[in-house]
Structure 1
Amino acid sequence: MRLTRYTDYSFRVLIYLAAQPDAFGTVQSISDAYQISKNHLMKVVQALSQRGYVDTIRGKGGGMRLRLPPERINVGRVVRDMESDLELVECFGPDNRCVITPECMLKNVLGEALSAFTAVLDRYTLADIVGNPAPLRRLLDVHLLDPDDA
């Protein structure tokens, strides 16, 4: 199973913001830290905002921060929210045209594997991923705006 770049970038944004919970991050600062496309990141941030993971503030001195504490952001939920689908093979989808579907056990096996995968993800939160944020801040060379300076 492979998660999309969209989900990967979603986690990068969440991790970046969790590393500095009392400050605002910007699309530019996150893009610079990870060396990823600012345009793609803007779409990811919009989706994270719409799904309730981040709050955004527009304008000069604006930015974003986590809407919820990292302990309340479940990794499995983020994956399910950000992935367009988790259909591993054609027979998982509504447009299945595979002729062997009635007798094939592959769907059952892959369904069990997907359930195990998501069950593991459901055991973790963003706080578990971030752990001690200090090393992450050093690695990312975080350039966040202090809300008091905005």
Structure 2
Amino acid sequence: MRLTSFTDYGLRALMRMASAPERAFSTAEIADEFGISRNHLNKVIQRLARHGFVATRRGAGGGAMLARPADEIGLGNLVRLLEKDQALVECFSSQGACCVTPVCLLKGKLHAAETAFLAELDRSTLADIALPAPAPAVA
């Protein structure tokens, strides 16, 4: 199973935030650390904030931080949110128009595999994958 870059960026940002949950991280800081698009990361952070995983604040000392403890944030829930509307295969989508759907035996197998994948992620939390704390800035 391949996750979208949207999910990849979200998980990386959350792993960094989990390393120092009392600290606010700017999207620029996270984007620079991981070499990812700041604009794309902003969209990810917005979705995470809308759904209560991240709290954001503007201004000096602003940025994004975890809205609740990392051990209360399930990985399966994160992936479900970040992969929302991204069907594993075309036939899982409401607009799917696969010509073999009426006789396809693969769809059930793929659905079972996706369910098992998410069930495995449901066994872990963000705390389980937090990155090591960032090194202090050198003055």
Structure-1 residue corresponding to 2:117: 117
* Aligned residue runs from structure 1 range 35-74, under 5 A: 35-74=35-74
CA contact (8 A) 1:13 1:30 kept: yes
SS in 1 for 2:114: helix
CA contact (8 A) 1:33 1:142 kept: no
Q: Which moved more, 1:34-43 or 1:91-100?
A: 91-100
Output the CA distance in 2 between the equivalents of 1:2 and 1:142.
34
Unaligned runs of 5+ in 1: 144-150
Unaligned runs of 5+ in 2: none
Output the CA distance in 2 between the equivalents of 1:100 and 1:24.
50
- C-alpha spacing 1:99/1:32, structure 2 compared with 1 (3 Å): closer
Output the CA distance in 2 between the equivalents of 1:91 and 1:142.
48
SS in 2 for 1:102: helix
Runs of 4+ in 1 over 3 A off after TM superposition: none
- C-alpha spacing 1:100/1:125, structure 2 compared with 1 (3 Å): same
Report percent identity of matched pairs: 45
SS in 1 for 2:36: coil
Superposition deviation, residue 103 in structure 1: 1.8
Letter in 1 for 2:44: V
Output the CA distance in 1 between the equivalents of 2:79 and 2:66.
17
* Aligned residue runs from structure 1 range 1-150, under 5 A: 1-130=1-130, 133=131, 136-138=132-134, 141=135
CA contact (8 A) 1:56 1:62 kept: yes
Q: Which has the higher contact order (CA 8 A, sep 6+)?
A: 1
1:73-127 CA-partner distances (Å, limit 9, x unpaired): 0000000001133522222222232232222111111111111111101111001
Output the CA distance in 2 between the equivalents of 1:114 and 1:142.
40
- C-alpha spacing 1:89/1:35, structure 2 compared with 1 (3 Å): closer
Output the CA distance in 2 between the equivalents of 1:23 and 1:10.
17
Q: Which moved more, 1:63-72 or 1:97-106?
A: 97-106
SS in 2 for 1:137: coil
Superposition deviation, residue 44 in structure 1: 1.2
Output the CA distance in 1 between the equivalents of 2:97 and 2:32.
44
- C-alpha spacing 1:119/1:86, structure 2 compared with 1 (3 Å): farther
